[in-house]
Amino acid sequence: MKKAIIFFLLMFLVAHFTLPQGYRGKGRLRGFVFDEDSNPSEGVRVKLFSLKSQEGFETVTDAGGKWVAAWIRGGKWNIGFLKVGYEPKKISANISEIKRNPDIELRLKKIEGLVITEELKAELGKGNKLFEQGSYQEALEVYQKILEKFSDAYAISKNIGNYYFQMEKYRRAQHYYLEVLEKEPETNEMKLAIGNCYANLGQDEKALEWYNKIKFEEIDNQTVLYNPGTHFYELSKFAEALRYYKRAVDIQNDFLDGIYQLGLTHLALGQYQESIRVFESYLKGLRFLPQLAVLPRQTELELPPVLILVVAVVGHVKKKIMHQCIKLIRNFIKPYELFAWSTRVDLSTS
């Protein structure tokens, strides 16, 4: 038994001292990291770099804020302390391999909001690229690894929530969106995301409850306005929908999806002249889309059915308006010689 123990000890020593790392030696260093209130800071990444060997390694503080670097060579070392949400700190220390090195104690200062380091940004960019390419599972794995490495990077919960939303697991998505909202209670983006989850679950009242938590006058993004507007429209709350669509188009006057829905909403409210004006703007926007400029002769183009609806419905109210519709549709089609438009409306009407 004694021989076996000696054998394993020898194997350990041989393995240890034959390791290729140039920073290995007989020194030992210990430290403690606290926050501004003198509480131990767990999960701080401690990056040590030996100037002599030009090599280094990394360790992490435990629940007591303690970290240890053992079997390191003597000389000058640069030591960095990183934790998401705190100001990074760098120090230098001269390490002795003969005598005991004094403990290092320092405090990290908390920063308001989430601090995105270059490393975190690179990892997040990798995950987002996979998500955009449709590699959702791979993206999720990247996001989860980020949270394992940067435990305080709560904003990544939004990306994980987006994954579950894409997978139509709306309850699970809500859980992650709420995690972000707890840290940033004023963020409209998360309120919208939670509202969208309820909308997709068919819980319309809950969806509207969350949409109404968004301060309308503070919204400056057309997409954030468009989604609640569409939900109001689908619930036949046309006056509310109109309010959202109008602001979306005011923010971005070439936002075709918003213009299209705005025209539909005017039509639903019986505001026929206004709907014609909006749809005319929509057609003008379509005309300048690059893909339409290269269409070959006699290409079939499916224009939105709502244009047919305008002609059919509004025409019964006022024949003059119907003729305006026909005229603007004809003016749109002629420049591109698109003669195969599928419609029951007779464009030759005068």
Q: Where are the domains of the chain?
A: 2-107, 270-350
Residue range 75-89, pLDDT digits in tens: 999 999 988 778 788
* Alpha helix segments (H runs only) across 18-116: none
Q: Name the residue among 163, 43, 173, 184 with its Cα closest to residue 114.
A: 184
Q: What is the mean pLDDT of residues 207-215?
A: 85
DSSP codes of every residue in 311-332: IIIIHHH-HHHHHHHHHHHHHH
Which amino acid, 309?
Answer: L
Q: What is the mean pLDDT of residues 216-226?
A: 80
Q: What is the mean pLDDT of residues 290-294?
A: 43
pLDDT band (50, 70, 90) for residue 313: very low
Pairing of strands 75-82, 89-95: antiparallel
Q: Are the CB atoms for 140 and 160 separated by under 8 Å? A: yes
Task: Give the pLDDT of residue 117.
Answer: 67
Residue range 124-162, pLDDT digits in tens: 889 999 998 989 999 999 999 988 887 778 889 999 999
d(CA 185, CA 284): 41
Burial class of residue 83 (count of CB atoms within 10 Å of its CB; 0-12, 13-18, 19+):
buried
d(CA 175, CA 60): 28
Domain 2-107 belongs to what architecture? Sandwich (2.60)
d(CA 196, CA 181): 15
pLDDT band (50, 70, 90) for residue 205: confident
Q: Is the overall model pTM greater than 0.85, yes or no?
A: no
pLDDT at 271 over 70: yes
Q: What is the mean pLDDT of residues 13-18?
A: 46
Instruction: Look at residue 229 and give its three-state secondary structure.
Output: helix
d(CA 217, CA 301): 38
Three-point CA angle 36, 44, 102, nearest 5°: 80
